[in-house]
Amino acid sequence: MTIAFLDHHLDNWHAKVFLSLLRERGHEVVAYESDPVEGDWCAANDVARVASPDGALETADAVMVLAPDNIDAHLDLAFSVLAAGKPVWIDKQLPPTVDDSLRIVRMAEYHGTPLTCASSLSHAAELEDALASMDGPVEEGVFSGYGDWGRYGVHTVAMALRAIDSKVAKVESWSTSHVKQVALTFEDGRKAALRVVAGKNASQAFPWQFALRRGEEYTHGTVSQFDEFYKRQCDAVLAAFESRETMRHDEMIDTVTILENVGAVTY
């Protein structure tokens, strides 16, 4: 399979990691970047560069929209390829507003384009193994993480939405400039509590953790296998490309709804 990378600029960690994982699995990569930085990433990594998204679509079987550090770029990059009907995966999240995210979802639906989108933390080995070990669905979950809400809150949100597979009905939050505490109520009545903390050593104080309650017991863990969640995400993306499976669109929109609404509130 030939996969196209579309990015704001390719000199980033996600492009490096996914290129290596795809090559290990026997796939080819072509790449387009809208705003290259100094140096030639494609030449340095022996990747065929194309001059436009259309050029990428000429040879690619599927598309990975990266730009992990410039989520604003996701709208234009995704719009440039969705009409082709080839499977598209968008890194981390859809654009940062619900309105723009809905535009992408509706365009994908109109053209019958398989669309998936997720943070790698939704595939954390510790979380996936915990879910597989439980005797039935999660009844309630508690999740924590670190980093600036606008850039890294998506990872903690992703763990919650992976663990509780229902549409979000209500979002409540209490926030300061450093701490975001969020309560989610799902349509089926289940609940999740999230805490994301920013600061110089927040990753040590508030690592990515989860506690999943069923009955009176908690299945819990701390995410520490960082290479593993990239591997598992890559495998999930490839499986979706090959099957032309599309992700639940309401889950993708729920992610943006939570991030946008909580990000706008500080007390």
Percent of the chain whose predicted confidence (pLDDT) is above 70: 99
pLDDT tens per residue across span 180-205: 999 999 999 999 999 999 999 999 99
Tell me what pLDDT residue 267 has: 45
Domain ranges of the chain: 2-118+229-247, 121-225
Tokens, residue 60:
């690619």
Tell me what pLDDT residue 39 has: 84
pLDDT tens per residue across span 221-263: 999 999 999 999 999 999 999 999 999 999 999 999 999 999 7
Sign of the alpha-carbon dihedral angle for 34, 99, 163, 69 = positive
Q: How far apart are the first and last CA of the chain?
A: 49
The answer to whether 156 and 208 are in contact (CB under 8 A) is yes
Sign of the alpha-carbon dihedral angle for 33, 36, 41, 43 = positive
Enclosing H/E stretch for 23: helix 13-24
| CATH numeric code, 121-225 | 3.30.360.10
CATH superfamily for domain 2-118+229-247: NAD(P)-binding Rossmann-like Domain (3.40.50.720)
Q: What is the rounded average pLDDT for all residues in the chain? A: 95
pTM of the model: 0.94
Non-local (6+) Cβ contacts of 199 within 8 A are 146, 178, 205
